[in-house]
Every structure is written in structure tokens, then in C-alpha cells.
Amino acid sequence: MNRIPLLFLFFTLTLNCLSQRETDTAAYPVKPFQLGEVIITGTIDREMIGTNELHRYNAQDVSSSLGILPSITLSNLGPRNESAVYLRGFDIRSIPVFVDGIPVYVPYDGYMDLARFTTYDVSKIDVSKGFSSMMYGANTLGGAINLVGMKPSYPLEISAKTGIMSGNGYDARLNLGSKMGKVYIQAGFSVLNREFVPMSAGFDTSALENNHRRDNSYRKDVKGSLKIGYASNSTDEYTINYIISHGSKGNPVYLGDDNTVRVRYWDWPYWDKQSVYFISKTAIGQKSFLKARLFFDEFKNKLRSYDDNSYTTQIKGYSFNSYFKDYTLGGNLEFSRDAGKNNTLRFSAHLKNDNHSEHNEGEPAIHIADNTVSISFESVYKPVSKLTLIPGVGYNVRYSLEAENYNSADQTITDMPGNSNDAFNAQLAAYYQFSNAFSTNFNVAYKNRFATMKDRYSYRLGVAIPNPDLTSESALNLELAANLTVAEKLKLRPELFYSRLYNTIQPVDNVLDDLSQMQNTGSSRFTGADLSLIYQPYKSFRLYAVYSYIQRDNLSNPELLFTDVPENKVFVSAEFTFAEKLTVQLSGEYNSERFNASDGSRISPAFAIANAEISYRFAGFMDAEFGVNNLLDNNYTLDEGYPEMGRNLYAALHFNFHK
């Protein structure tokens, strides 16, 4: 913790300047970029994390941000050192990630390392569970996650942070915004760097890890963003957006008890992403508008496999350099019209062109390409003042354009069979407002997810047979929920949910000799409940708590267990504020045990962790914070054999100014 970023100098100079003049420097909420939102209506509840929560819990990336929500379970894909989440039992392939409504999930396998998505230029994170807007397009089987950017409201806005953390780490960000009449500009830059993960004192060292600094656990993420917008009037708006990020990370080795798990000496010298997109909204008369999105999203990375823990030589048969490059071109049009006093209609059309290429060093690249087309309809209808009905239907089709295979034995590239698949989606929500203090909603949604390129074409390192004819998975999602306010101090939201999954894509063993194949053979059932509450009896005290329960049953293969999601999760946070300047926050989380292998051979035991933070606001525009995560220094895992961080500290300065 011996680095001091250059932004500290920026803070000092700015403080000197502001101390000599009187300005409006009160803290302000960051304004969301509304064109980037995908919202059905304000009456349908969805989980949202805003800038206050991102600040309150020192959430540096998307994965660490989402853990405070009900139904969300954090997971760690240890063999690839990827942070991911499960939403009501659905993995990240079924809850695609969007930025300002633009799909940014990796086309090849649908996965995303959410730790690579830092939150320094994000105004809020919207999470839709089961019932999500048809305007998102295809593959929202279990919901959707949308990262919404910032938009300036003043002629000058400055938001900055500089901080240090355990593991010889630091982070820094600078966001600048300006609204000048009809034109606005928003720019951001951030860096997050840590040399190693500190382990708990209870961690047992071994021949593979002989100290409490986790080997090969470094990370670095640098990100820049730029938004230029033009609002010609109160209804019409046009923006061009650019986001670029460079990441690099190590991959700590497996330290568990399963002798069948191979130790990998891997790292990623680059994990890079860039997105360029245009979003516009244009009024057509007084009752209609047209919203358009055009986008280009690119992802590329390099994976290095080494001989041993020196991470220097690549001589052995399992050593290689692998290169991936994916990009997506696409766009969508959304037409909305007020069809009478109590009805709003929305139509959308999406086209998404996905391209993937990969090769090992010294070999030619192979290419896979798909097109996905979606047409959707949605309505918000109020037959009476207290009742809102929201029906929606959608039709999606995916067809392959190209699929190549490389045979290393004879060094030839051949074409694999093409294929196509279509799917129908439908949903209905009913929302009833009994009073200002009590409302309820019932949602039913039938959604699909197309098989990914990897599902259809991967040989999985020689142990599987491709299956180009895989069809989409489907799920029927039901939810019954309520919002209750008691004496304006206590807010409760109980939720019951049920999902039935059909045609689940899963491996079938011994299809040909000892080779497996991905097939549509799975049927399963997810059942659970969530309860969240906010209790604020005084302005100076706030209690937030969530409890989630889920039971996942594999109906087609009961002997195969679902992995990486605990049956029970509890998160509690208590916040105390003194003299409107000093804030103390205590939080804790409990997870019951989870299976990490479908045969039950690997298990992460139940765990509980506690965190604490103290923050102090100096002059309305600046605050300092100091915090401790994993306060009790517990040794725990999310993925057996890959221990999580022990007690770790952080300190930061935040600066917000607008004029």
C-alpha cells in the first residue's frame, strides 16, 4: 500500500481553488443516461443499484456490486479466475449483460468476467429477474443486467476518486461532464490495479502456495469512456458513445483436495474490450417516438499456459498461447406510441451479427459467425387506475453463417454443418396498487436462450463431439411479489418465484466410446423466495437486509447436482450517521454450503464474513473513507480449491463538484 496516485495532487489543487470562492458544492446524485435505460414502466419493480450504493459498499466492479441484491449469488470460476453471478439459479449465459442497452456478452460462449467491468463511470445497474423487457431482444432466459452510464446536468461536473488497498493495490478515476445548451459531453478514465491477493491467517500453506500472498493473483484494469450528445429539443436526443478497456490478470492455481483437477499455470496478458454505439430518440408527432441503436462491440484476449509456477517457459505439451477475437455488429429500432389515455404500445426489431475467431500460436485461425433476428411487442395497459397489465410477445431466430474446424493432425481447415433455430417468447405482468403503502404484482414469462457457438461446435479439448443441431433452452418463470410500507419507516418486499426449465443443454457421456456431447436432454425446476427490507426509524440510522432461498431440482438426472449456488443467503447492512458528516457502516453476509462439482465431489462449506467502513464528509464536495473487508479474516471459498481474500483494507478520497 505504498502507491499514491497522481489524482491526489489533483484533489489538493482543486481544494485550494475552491476554498477561495463560494460555489454550489452540495453532494448530488449522478444523473443516469436515460437513453441507455431499458424500462418497461416505472410501476414494475426491478432491482437497481445506484451511485449511492456503489459508493456505500466500495463496489469497484460489477460482480462485487451485485452481491448486495436478493436472488443474486456471487461465484468464482476458479479455473479461469472469472467473477460471475447467478440470478435465481440462472448463470450468466441466461442473464446477458448490456451497457446502455447494447449487448456486450461474449458471442462465443455467452460468459463474461464481470470483474473486468469496473463501475467508475456507471450511474446505476438495472437487474431484471425472470420478467424482463422484450425490448432487450434474444437470450434473456432468466433476466438481464444493464449497466447505465452517466449524463451531465450542469455546465461543469467533476467526479474523482483516489484510493489504496491491501495487496499493493490502488484505484483512481476521473469523470468530467459538461452540459452546454443543447450539447453535452461526458468523459471518464479509471485504473484499478492490485499486485496480489492477501490470504487469511487461517490459510494453510502448501508446496504450491508457500506464503500468504496468493501467487499469480494480480489484476489490472484500465478504462476510458466518452459520450457526446445533442438534445435538439425536449423530446429528441442523439448520442455517440465510445468505451475502451484493457485488462490483464493472473490465474491462481488449484489448491483443493480433488486429485482429478489439473493444476493450470495460466495468465491473461490482455483481456480487452471496446464498444462504439449510437443511440437516438426522435418524437413522431405528439404521441409516438422512434428509438434507434447501432453498435459495434469487440472482445479479444490472449491466454498463456506455462510449464510450471515460474511462469517463464512453454515447452511441455500442455503449454500454449491461445488467441480469441470476437466482435458483434448490430442495431435495433424501437417504436412507441400512446394508443389512448391508458395504453402504450412498443414494437422493436433487432439484428445482431456475431463473429468469433480463435487460434493457437503457430496455427491458422478458424471462424464462426451467426446472425440473430428478433421482433418484439410490448404493451402497458391500465384498464382501471389501480391495475396495470403488461403483455409482451417476441419471436427470435438464429442462423449460422460460417463454422470452421481446424484439424491439427493434417493442418487443414474444413467447414462444419450450418444450422438454424427459432424461438417464441411471451409474458404477462399484472400490477395492482391497493394503496400508497401496499402493492402487489404477478408475472409469468416464457423465455428462451439459443445454444452458443461453443455449445454447438466445441470439441472441448478433445473429449466431446460437436452438436450443430442443438436447439434453444426454454424456461417458464413465475413470480408473486408485494411491496409494503409500514409507518413510512419500514419497507418490505417479499417475493416467491418458480422456474421450470425445458430442453436444458447439458453434456451426455459416452455418446461415442468415451466421448460426450452437448444435447437438449435436461429438465429442471427452480423454486425459491426472497425477502428484502429497509428500516429507517431516524434520518441517522438505516438498516438494509435481504434473505434468499432457492431449491434447484434436476428432474431429468437427479444424480447430477446443480453447482455454485447456496440454498440460503443473508446480507445485512447497518448505517449510522453522526452530525450529517461522519458515517459508520457495518455489513455482513452468510452463505450456506454449495456444490462445486455436479457429482458432489467438491464442496464449498458455509461461511460468514463481516465488513466495516467509516467515511467523513469534509465540505460537501469531498469525503474520505476507510474500510475493512472480511473483518474477522475468515478463510472461505466460493469455488473449492480457490480460497478467497482474507482480511483486506482500503482507504480512498472522493470528490464531487458541479457548477
Secondary structure of 22-69 in HEC code, one letter for each residue? CCCCCCCCCCECHHHCCCCCCCCCCEEEEHHHHHHCCCCEHHHHHCCC
Query: What length does the chain have?
Result: 659
> Binning pLDDT at 50, 70 and 90, where does residue 20 land?
very low
Domain for residue 511, yes or no? yes
Residue 12 has pLDDT above 70, yes or no: no
What is the structure's pLDDT at 596? Answer: 95
pLDDT of residue 41: 67
Q: What is the mean pLDDT of residues 401-412?
A: 92
Residue 2, domain member (yes or no): no
Closest among 465, 463, 528, 529 to 494, alpha carbons compared: 529
- Mean per-residue pLDDT for 443-452? 96
pLDDT: which is higher, 5 or 497: 497
What pLDDT is attached to residue 29? 59
Percent of the residues in the chain that have a pLDDT greater than 70, as a whole number: 95
* pLDDT above 70 for 83: yes
Averaged over 291-316, what is the pLDDT?
97
Task: Determine the pLDDT at residue 346.
Answer: 96
Q: Is it the case that residue 408 has pLDDT exceeding 90?
A: no
**541 forms bridges with which residues in the sheet?**
538, 576
Arithmetic mean of pLDDT, 535-549: 96
Mean of pLDDT over the chain: 92
Q: Is the pLDDT of residue 23 over 60?
A: no
Q: What is the pLDDT of residue 508?
A: 82
Q: H-helix or E-strand containing 609?
A: strand 607-617
* Within-domain flag for 599: yes
Task: Name which residue leads in pLDDT, 568 or 1.
Answer: 568
Q: Which residue has the higher pLDDT, 54 or 482?
A: 482
129 Cβ neighbours under 8 A, 6+ residues apart: 46, 47, 71, 87, 88, 142, 143, 479, 497
pLDDT band, residue 117 (cuts 50/70/90): very high
- The model's pTM is 0.93
Nine-digit cell at 616?
467523513
Banded pLDDT at 104 (limits 50, 70, 90) = very high
pLDDT at 507: 84
The model's confidence at residue 143, banded by pLDDT at 50, 70 and 90, is: very high
Q: Is 582 part of any domain?
A: yes
Number of structural domains the chain divides into = 1
- Distance separating alpha carbons of residues 445 and 268, to the nearest angstrom: 39
Does pLDDT of 150 surpass 50? yes
pLDDT per position as a tens digit, 348-383: 999 999 999 999 999 999 999 999 999 999 999 999
CA distances from 470 to 174, 416, 422, 507 (A): 46, 14, 11, 12
23-32, 318-327, 491-500: least confidently modelled range: 23-32
CA distance 647 to 201: 9
Residue 136 has pLDDT above 60, yes or no: yes
Question: Given a cut of 60, is residue 389 above it in pLDDT?
Answer: yes
* pLDDT value of position 57: 86
Percentage of residues in the chain having pLDDT higher than 90: 81
Confidence of residue 43 (pLDDT cuts 50, 70, 90): low
pLDDT value at position 21?
34
pLDDT given at position 560: 87
Q: Considering the domain boundaries, does residue 479 fall inside one?
A: yes
Q: Which residues form the domain of 256?
A: 7-658
What is the pLDDT confidence band of residue 28, given thresholds at 50, 70 and 90? very low
**Neighbouring-strand partners of residue 175:** 159, 188
Over residues 324-340, mean pLDDT: 95
Q: What is the pLDDT of residue 18?
A: 38
Stretch 442-464: mean pLDDT, rounded? Answer: 92
Q: DSSP assignment of 165-219, as one string? A: ETTTEEEEEEEEEEEETTEEEEEEEEEEEES-EEPPTTPPP-SS--SSEETT--E
Q: How many CA atoms lie within 13 A of 576 on its CB side?
A: 7
Q: Are 119 and 59 in contact (CB under 8 A)?
A: yes
Looking up residue 380, the CATH number of its domain turns out to be: 2.40.170.20
Rounded mean pLDDT of 319-325?
A: 96
Q: Which residue has the higher pLDDT, 19 or 37?
A: 37
Average the pLDDT over 379-404 and give the result.
Answer: 95
42 pLDDT band, cuts 50/70/90, is low
Structural contact between residues 640 and 256, judged by C-beta atoms closer than 8 angstroms = yes
Phi, psi of 64 (to 5 degrees): -70, -25
Confidence of residue 6 (pLDDT cuts 50, 70, 90): very low
Please indicate, yes or no, if residue 1 is contained in any of the structural domains: no
Q: Which three cell numbers stand for residue 505?
A: 443443454
**φ, ψ for residue 38, nearest 5 deg:** -125, 90
Of the chain, the end-to-end C-alpha distance in Å amounts to 34
pLDDT at residue 4 tops 80: no
The answer to whether residue 41 sits within a structural domain is yes
Please check whether residue 349 lies inside any domain of the structure: yes
Find the mean pLDDT for residues 70-97: 94
Compute the average pLDDT of residues 179-197.
97
Q: Is the predicted pLDDT of residue 620 greater than 90, yes or no?
A: no
